[in-house]
Structure 1
Amino acid sequence: MKGVHHKSSRNKLSTRDRKKLSGEDLNTIDETVGQRKKLSGEDLSELDHRVESRDIISQLPEHIIHHILSLLRDTKDAARTSILSRKWRQIWTSFSILKFDQQKIQEQEGCLEMRNKTKTFKDFVANSLNNHLKQKLSIQKLVLHITSYDLELAPHMDHWINIAIENNMKELDLHVVVKKSRYYYLPQTVFASNTITGLRLHGCKLKFRSNIKLPQLQKLYLHEVHVDQQIVDNLISSCPLIEDLRFIHCTGLQNLQVSSLLKLDRVEVHHCHVPKEIKVNAPNLQTFWYCGKKSLPCKIDLVACVFLKRLTLEDANMTDEMFEDQFARFPFLEILDLSKCNNLKNLTISSTQLKKLVLRGCKNLMEADIDAPNLFSFEYKGDKMPFSFSNPSSLKAAKFSFEPVQIDSHEFHLGDADPLWFFRLRELLEKLKHSSGLKLIVRSKKLVYEKMMHRGENPNCCPYNTQNKCWRHSLKGIKIEKFEPAYGKSTSDWIAWLKSSPTLQYQTTSYRLSW
């Protein structure tokens, strides 16, 4: 920022400009001006060179500045960046992002009646667009967040979107809160834009259109959108540059067939109603993320995606055979995340490329043999310890979260039925002693605090087990790490027990254990 101040000192500051600056800024400028009067031409040239070299923020590449502007929440904040330097001012005028949040605008105006609120919002957006166009500024991105949608607002929204399209809009982010199944129908002009690169649609309805032409579209996100199967097929076939394709809580999608998209990098399908089959034929696909429903089985075919690197599946219907058939076809897979895959029972995961593995909530998983010599991170959450590692030497970060088991309405704690459970856990931790990050979470109603802190030199807890003693016998040291307030936390049974203690009320305890 000093570089900006020094550059501004070349010209005489007006009284208005001086009022905007702080005392420290004025001192810096005045001091610089005083130094300039004493310097020769050669010295001035050297000073300018030093000042410009310090102005690193103006030397950023244009696409980086574009990205910074896109992350700013408020249009006014983005506009303020134009004072940083001439370069930022030029980029700001060519990279305009218009964001209109109906609820925020109506609250700022202090309207009480709904009719006045809607009118205020419409006037605000219309005036902002008119002022923008008078300055002959382009529209890089239009964001409309509609919280109180009605049919009277629809033609105004059409008009705003059409104005943006006429001014070469590149991205449209439209979020409509749906009430009483009142969807907003996206205007047909959107599907004939030669400049749009990104569409993020929430709470809309897409009408069938055969002549879709979006030659520049790269990102398509549909969230709570009612789609027609034909329009989805036409979108995919008419947008050859799509890189990122996402369907989230959508209805009307019967099948997803993706092919001939050479630039496709990411596909996500989350909790969509009805899809029976997903088939992706994209040779350069890097990421696939699917979250399904137990009552709606879906056949997934990713056979042609041989270069897949990240695979996330939340699919209650996936069997051992289905998984092995898919996994064997991804030799370059680096991240594998399996959640709530309740039909999985016995898995063999063998890969030299795999770096991160997550097994979360697969409640029927009995055995998982993991042979991944380059595995860096592993996370497990469940009520068993079904996994085993052939070679965990590269594992640096591990997280284990063990839950109680419910059997015949009774809570069944890890270690109660299997006396070797803690011995196996100790063996596992011994294998992972080289890890730099290890997190172990065991939830239990038992008096964990009392058992650990008052175990004595020779705990009398395993009188009938002479060979395999429980975890307390091998525990060498316990250190209370910290006490933290737990206000607002979920009241699990274990937390409820902590709160019931007169000494630990409303607090949680963290321990560092050593064996």
Structure 2
Amino acid sequence: MNSDCEETVSGQLNTMDRFSDLPDFLVHHIISFLDTKEAYRTCILSERWAHISATNPIIEFHYYCKAEYSPARHWPSQEDSGRLLGYIDTRMQRYATDNLRIKTLKLRFPASNKVFGCDVEDIELLELSRKLEELSCKVDEWIRIAVRNQVARLDLDGPINYQLPAILLSAKSLREVYCINVKIPYYNGAINLASLQTLELLNVGVEERMLNHIISSCLLLKCLSVKNCPGFKTIVIPWCSQVRELTLREALQENGTIILETSCLIYIKLSDMYDDRWPVISKPGLLRNLRTLDIVFMGITDEDLNKLLPELASLENLRLTDCDKLTMIRISSIQLKKIYLNECFGLLEVTIDAPSMTKFEYKGEFYPHRAITISSQASCDLSLSITPDCLDNEGFFKLKKLMTGLRSCNALEIWLENYTNEAVCDNIEFNEEELGDVNLGLPHDITELMLTLYYMKLSRSSVSAFLNGLFWTCHPDIISLRFHLKDPDLMIQLFMNELEDMVNCWEHPLKRIEFPDANCSNILESEKVDAQLRLHW
């Protein structure tokens, strides 16, 4: 018999609660996988569980939803606001008194109004100043307690005009810091964040010299993210740094630069920088270990990109989004595996020779004046996001020609997008006879064809032309259809009816049709649906 269950004289089982015999630190580890509200609910199990919940090293206080007081997500009233702050303070003081370990401290405050249970505009200036000062002092005290109790992660969305206390810069146990809507005052003393590996700043007020001071002092820092913190002229990643991931968004001022002195970087994401140049200054060879380059909303030019790519000997993932200065991209790399070109509307020619490429994504216009040529020896997935007016004889010709450069294609994904209100589209046209003597070979065999209609309905003629053009291009084993529509049933029925004709016309043994986002049981029972399609659903 199980050792946890013993049979009594009366024949009943007497179960033993082994779980309650576990030491506190082990139970703390178990409930650390629960969110704060779920962890707090365990206090009703027993007195010991109430103790466990009250000493949980994962502490989260969301000001807007009254933390553990209530699951309702609304701003606390003025009375509840004071009660909530008192509760947080009492809880934190217990951690200080009992010297309890704090692994994570997460504090969330509203950034603008509704700070004290009423609109900021309804509080007199002196009263507001006093309340903010009191609140800042409380948050300072809670952070001091967390630092003394060896906090490993701080996640702070600060109250209005909150400045981080200097004690935080000597938190040797801190491994992760996430700050939103706070200020970091300049500090010219020694920074002792010996364990810090991740630093993420969003909408944070910090001077350039202070940011560079932090970067150069944190020798174990591996992940650095600075977003919506504009005004930096120079950000330096020194030679002694171990930063591997760098994310900058709206951080550099005009003609600002990133001085790179280390070769540790494997990931760079730069966005919202409109200078017509590449902002990273580095010696040759320092970007040799870079695996992922993600550029968004930047004025990088063809010349800059052509100079940069040969230095990226290990680059595997390249993403270019809204880089309108690019007109001609020519990429030749045996390392590249994934390439994403999204809404770079200035592009006229794309030539890619990447034998190892397994994913190519293109989002933008597919007009005849845009030449796209790709070559890969690996099994490559294609993802195309295009507007319906690009799909005519020329558009389907370009699609099929695009696929001829691939040794094999496992999946083809096509998004048809409409950027306005949901409307009926009647722009898709395809007539194989008009292609004349064009010979691009037989349709390509692929495993899955994924079609998505995003806020767009197609007329019957457009659905017929769309499917006919696709079957001329490829023969899939599986077709997956997604409709982001208010009422997709009519479109599903229309596609099913047309697919029945297409499968018979092209003599293609389609194995299965999927509608991942819809319940199609009523349509499957329809007599209009071909029995073959229904059986292979």
Note closer, same or farther for the CA distance 1:357–1:69 as it changes in structure 2 (3 Å cut).
farther
What residue in structure 1 maps to residue 126 of structure 2?
A: none
- Judged with a 3 Å threshold, the aligned counterparts in structure 2 of structure 1 residues 369 and 394 are, in CA distance, closer, same or farther, namely same
**2-side partners of 1:91 and 1:119: how far apart?**
26
1:173 to 149, 155, 161: 155
1:135-174 counterparts in 2 under 5 A?
135-147=98-110, 148-149=114-115, 150-174=132-156
Match of 1:504 in 2: 490
- The two structures have a TM-score, normalised by structure 1, of 0.71
Task: Answer with 336-345 or 275-284: which moved more.
Answer: 275-284
Q: What's 1:49 paired with? A: none
Report the alpha carbon displacement of residue 346 of structure 1 after superposing the two structures with TM: 1.3
Instruction: Say which of 421, 426, 429 aligns to 2:395.
Output: 421
Closer/same/farther in 2, CA of residues 485 and 203 from structure 1, 3 Å limit: closer
Measured against aligned partners, the alpha-carbon deviations of 1:135-162 in whole angstroms (never above 9, x if no partner) come to 4421111110012544431111111111
**In the superposition, relative to structure 1, how do residues 93 and 194 fare at CA in structure 2: closer, same or farther (>3 Å)?**
farther
Q: How does 1:263-274 map to 2 (within 5 A)?
A: 263-272=242-251, 274=253
1:399 to 362, 383, 394: 383
Q: Aligned partners of 1:133 and 1:507: how far apart in 2?
A: 65
Cα deviation digits, residues 316-341 of structure 1 (max 9, x gap)? 31011111222111111111111111
Counterpart pick for 1:184 among 143, 157, 162? 162
Whole-angstrom distance in 2 between the partners of 1:296 and 1:95? 51
Mapped partners of 1:7, 1:130: distance in 2: 42
Post-superposition shift, 1:366?
Answer: 1.4
How far apart, in 1, do the equivalents of 2:150 and 2:203 lie? 27
Task: Name the structure 2 match of 1:244.
Answer: 223
CA deviations 1:299-324 (Å, max 9, x no partner) are 22355132111111114310111112
Which sections of structure 1, spanning at least 5 residues, go unmatched?
A: 13-26, 34-51, 405-412, 453-458, 488-497
Structure 1 residues 199 and 439, CA, compared in 2 at 3 Å: closer, same or farther? same
Q: Deviations over 1:19-76 (max 9, x none)?
A: xxxxxxxx9x92888xxxxxxxxxxxxxxxxxx9xx9xx9xxx9xx96x765532165
Residues 103, 415 of structure 1: alpha-carbon distance in 2 compared, 3 angstrom cutoff: closer
Alpha-carbon offset, residue 434 of structure 1: 3.2
Hey, what does 2:13 align to over in structure 1? 30
C-alpha distance 340-474 of structure 1, shift in aligned 2 (>3 A): closer
Partners of 1:11 and 1:297 in 2: CA distance: 79
SS at match of 1:312: strand
Q: TM-score, normalised by structure 2?
A: 0.68
Identity of aligned residues (%): 22
The aligned counterpart of 1:293 is: 273
Of Structure 1 and Structure 2, the greater strand share is in 2
Check whether the contact 1:142–1:171 (CA below 8 A) recurs between aligned residues.
Answer: yes
Contact 1:75 1:99 in 2 (8 A): no
Query: What is the rounded CA distance, in whole Å, between the counterparts of 2:6 and 2:226 in structure 1?
Result: 54
- Using the alignment, how far apart are the partners of 1:214 and 1:480 within structure 2? 53
Pair 1:370–1:90, CA change in 2 (3 A):
farther
Of 84, 95, 104 in structure 1, the residue corresponding to residue 65 of structure 2 is 104
Report SS of the residue matched to 2:70: helix
Cross-structure match for 1:260: 239
Equivalent residue letter for 1:140: K
Change (3 A) 1:295 1:370: closer
Which SS does the other structure have where 2:273 is aligned?
coil
Are the counterparts in 2 of residues 420 and 468 from structure 1 also a CA contact under 8 Å? no
Task: State the alpha-carbon separation in 2 of the partners of residues 356 and 169 from structure 1.
Answer: 38
Task: Work out whether residues 93 and 138 of structure 1, in 8 Å CA contact, stay in contact via their aligned partners in 2.
Answer: no
Cα 1:233–1:378, aligned 2, differ >3 Å: closer, same or farther? same
Separation (CA, whole Å) in 1 of partners of 2:208 and 2:7: 62
CA 1:7 to 1:509, structure 2 compared with 1: closer, same or farther past 3 Å? farther
Partner Cα distance (2:7, 2:88) in 1: 37
CA distance in 1, matches of 2:75, 2:39: 27
- Structure 1 residue 295 displacement after superposition: 6.5
Q: How far off its partner does 1:124 sit?
A: 1.4
RMSD (CA atoms)? 4.4
Cα distance, 1:377 vs. partner?
A: 1.1
Deviation at residue 375 of structure 1 after TM alignment: 0.8
